[in-house]
Amino acid sequence: MQDYTTVRGTASAEIEEKHSRFIASVSFADTEQAALDFLASVRAQHRTARHNVYAYVLREGNRTRYSDDGEPAKTAGLPVLEAIQHAGVTDCVVVVTRYFGGILLGTGGLVRAYTASAAAGLAAAEIVTVRSCVSVEITVEYSLYERAALLFQQAGARLEEPVFSDKVFLRGIMPAGSEGGLLPALQQLTRGGQAKVSDPFYLPF
């Protein structure tokens, strides 16, 4: 699996167009069920809204889906989908809630409003790159703790909180393939101590 870009958590943004309110709600979703659950939660929050338009893009099966939710065809869901694709993110769902303001926007106005709202929501979201990573673990004497921690940091690892007992347990997360320089440095520091390297896994880094 290749590295990919997604959103972390949730975000929201709101714009107004001719007295209509457009509220974009954005969330990470790595399955269709997660996307639909988020849609259901937004609908529950905005029960009185005229429309809850949505779109999502999933890595799994390269799946995309959108709904105009009662707006004229291709004036709402498709612009939201295109905003997600333009942002270059996947495993992402965007729901745009519209509270009608009494003035018709026309097809062009709807497209512009839904595009702008989705883009604002995505701009408010934290964009992260999910990479193939490994964890590197080693237990060292207290006298070597600070120097070992420095080696992790110099290698670009994200060092977790150390565990202190009779010795110090260190665990760092780093992009897979970048641990080659850290391992011999730790071995030299500890005079033969063997660091444990995990199998690759994916997480935002």
Residue 173 in this model has a pLDDT that exceeds 80: yes
- 26 DSSP β-pair partners: 11, 94
**pLDDT attached to residue 1:** 63
What mean pLDDT do residues 58-87 have?
Answer: 96
**pLDDT attached to residue 203:** 86
Closest CA to 92 of 82, 102, 100: 82
What mean pLDDT do residues 168-185 have?
Answer: 96
**pLDDT attached to residue 204:** 83
Sign, CA torsion 143/145/150/155 = positive
What mean pLDDT do residues 134-157 have?
Answer: 97
What mean pLDDT do residues 4-17 have?
Answer: 96
Q: What is the pTM of this model?
A: 0.77
Mean pLDDT of the chain: 95
Q: How many other CB atoms are found less than 10 A from the CB of residue 45?
A: 13
Closest CA to 18 of 78, 80, 103: 103
Closest CA to 144 of 188, 114, 104: 188
**pLDDT attached to residue 199:** 95
Closest CA to 56 of 90, 88, 86: 90
Closest CA to 15 of 131, 82, 109: 109
